[in-house]
Structure 1
Amino acid sequence: MNEEGRGPSAEPLLALIGDHLESIRGALDDEQHTLLLTRLTALAEAPPDDTMAVRRALQGVRLALRPLPFEHPVRVALDGVRLVAAPPGPAAVTEALALISLMTAPDPAPAGSTPTGSTPAAAPAVGAGDDRAPDPLLREPALSAAEATARCGGAPPPELIKLPDPPHGDRYPQFQFPAGGGTPHEVVLEVNRLLLADIDPRGAASWWLGGNTWLGGTPASFLGLLPDHELVGAATALVEGE
């Protein structure tokens, strides 16, 4: 139990993830599973002696596990983990490295697969906006890096969501800026800090652009319509597991 008596500490939670990797993979879609791997990678790369960096990275892992069914053992344990009372130790980074190794291990080649040394047919190249593999986030209205820099009056702040788009350059979702021009919405920056947008911009963008039962709609659509504190409250509810 942690100091608050609310469940396992961070390291046992990571070990529990390892025990249930197969069922986690079955419960998450491809994008959610990739997000989990991304956040575990951020944890593995955090300096072990930097408590705040490890804590932030662990919070990212917790957020990535939220889509699991409520009855899943990892999801049940999730709400019992509190990262404030007892700072996570270096063992959390070690556990993350082990999980990444397990999650990225190649599957055994099925019978009839391409023999070693042969070259499989190349998959068609897919770029942003290609209907064969649409990326909903990259289809959203966005500013280019140059446009975002101009609107910010300099380099965009790190908490601003920046989505990599190799064929066209980095994209900054447009909802982050007022429609009539100007610098980013302050509430967007505040919420993005809660959602760790600097670590996982796709996860933060998905929250803003996806349905939200707390608000009853898409958070981005309520900018300027709802009081800022309600948007912050909805994001806080996600982070704190309420």
Structure 2
Amino acid sequence: MDPYAVLAAAAGRWGTIAGRLGPGSLERLAALLGEVRDGPRGEQPEEHRRHRAAYAAAELLARGLPDEFGDDPQGRFTLTAPPPGAGAQHATHQGFSTEDLAVLLLDGHRMVGPLLGPVRGRLLAAPALDPGTLRRAGTDPDAAGLIRLAGRGGAVQLPGFQFTAAARPRPVVTDVNAVLAADRDPWGAADWWLSPNAWLGVSPASLVGTPDEARLPETAGSLTDQE
């Protein structure tokens, strides 16, 4: 059995199995996933270490949840040499991957799976500022009305369209974020801003800083009026 398939399956079932693992097991699983995903790459011994961590993580799940993952015919996973480029993007299970399990445990949110995973990747790839950069510019990254997304390891990044060239929050953005309830659903708010909008003909973020930004509050309000 491919251990990466086991880890991918665990991501897909996380809502039902997470509460069945004790704190110690969760901590160990998170540490192993961190090594699989973020460990050093390049030289062959390092790739082997990442590969061994994946096997150890699958073993932990098989021991802790034998009814879910303990059906390996040999009772244990057989460690093999990692193929070239071994890492978190091996086997998938119903659209879930090892990376999705790492997101759940290390990044602290549920933007995973075949539907939300691509959205996560797209939003995190957009231009963004980190809290340190904002603080150096005199802007509070924790201020109300700002979208904050959790990246790798839970590192916070704030989509760049929210700020002026001087890293100051744009009033129209904070106003619209309040309408979108960005404090409760930052991913949904970011997706609204960065996706093409049928009414506007472009993404709302592309209108920020232009005369057409005046259309944004009404457009966002129309969205919430339909709910």
TM-score normalized by structure 1?
0.45
Which has the greater radius of gyration? 2
TM-score normalized by structure 2?
0.48
